[in-house]
């Protein structure tokens, strides 16, 4: 897979990955690796239902994208902002 096709895949899946990662973070109370697997399974299932299954050769790219988005959200504090405030 060349660099241009990888960039194309990132552009295609990034909005879906970002939304899925946030939804999983808000609703799944499990270790990070489990949440990453839930996110990947969700993306694959929703894509299949929509009639556009994630090709097997794209799964690793999507998994890496999930990990990258989680890392960026952790480092920028996005997930801290999503946690409900205690005491209110």
Query: Is pLDDT at 11 greater than 60 in this prediction?
Result: yes
Tell me what pLDDT residue 27 has: 93
Q: Each residue of 52-84: pLDDT tens digit?
A: 999 999 999 999 999 999 999 999 988 776 655
Picking from 13, 32, 16, the residue whose alpha carbon sits closest to that of residue 71 is 32
> Phi-psi bin for 51: left (phi > 0), alpha (psi -120 to 50), beta?
left
Q: Each residue of 33-43: pLDDT tens digit?
A: 999 999 999 99
Euclidean distance between CA atoms 52 and 47, whole angstroms: 5
């Amino acid at each position: 897979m060349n660099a241009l096709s990888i960039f194309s895949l990132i552009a295609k899946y990034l909005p879906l990955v970002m939304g899925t990662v946030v939804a999983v973070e808000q609703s799944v109370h499990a270790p990070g690796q489990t949440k990453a697997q839930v996110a990947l399974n969700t993306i694959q299932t929703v894509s299949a239902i929509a009639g556009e299954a994630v090709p097997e050769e794209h799964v690793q790219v999507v998994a890496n994208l999930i990990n990258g988005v989680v890392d960026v959200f952790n480092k920028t504090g996005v997930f801290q902002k999503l946690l409900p405030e205690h005491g209110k």
